[in-house]
Amino acid sequence: MYKVTKQYGRGSEIFAQSFSKLADATSFMQLAVEADAAMKVNVIYRLYEFDEVIKEIDSSKMELAARENSQSGQGKTSGATFKPTPFEMSPRPRSTPPKWLHDEEDKNKDEDKK
């Protein structure tokens, strides 16, 4: 007789389901952990054989592993990355002032001073 329990965060352990076969219990745990990891719910599933813990699966650890696997596959095609910047990085002649375009507010301030 196998018993599956779950524990949310630091709460108490809650009975989830009982199984007669080990394979059924482990597949139930695996599916439940994947569903909880997809919803970003931290749950610890424990599989008991009578009163002894056989297996323990933590959904937060599964989420981290899944995130690492998905990130490791990204960006392998090229080493170049595009990082846009709000600043204009093109070179300009020395005689050009740093800000040659004036905003409407700047024009209004200049007119008020005159």
Q: Could you give the C-alpha distances from 62 to 24, 25, 38, 65, in angstroms and in order?
A: 20, 18, 10, 5
88 lies in some domain:
no
- 62 and 37 in contact (C-beta within 8 Å)? yes
Residue 93 lies in a domain: no
Which pLDDT score is estimated for 72?
Answer: 56
Number of separate domains in the chain: 1
pTM: 0.55
Is position 110 within any domain?
Answer: no
Q: What is the DSSP string of 22-63?
A: HHHHHHHHHHHHHHHHHTT--EEEEEEETTEEEEEEEHHHHH
DSSP-derived letter for residue 87 is S
pLDDT tens by residue, 53-112: 999 988 777 655 555 655 555 555 555 676 766 666 666 777 766 665 656 666 666 666
pLDDT of residue 54: 93
Give dist(CA 40, CA 81) in Å, integer: 29
Give per-residue pLDDT as tens, 14-55.
999 999 999 999 999 999 988 888 888 889 999 999 889 999
63 located within any domain: yes
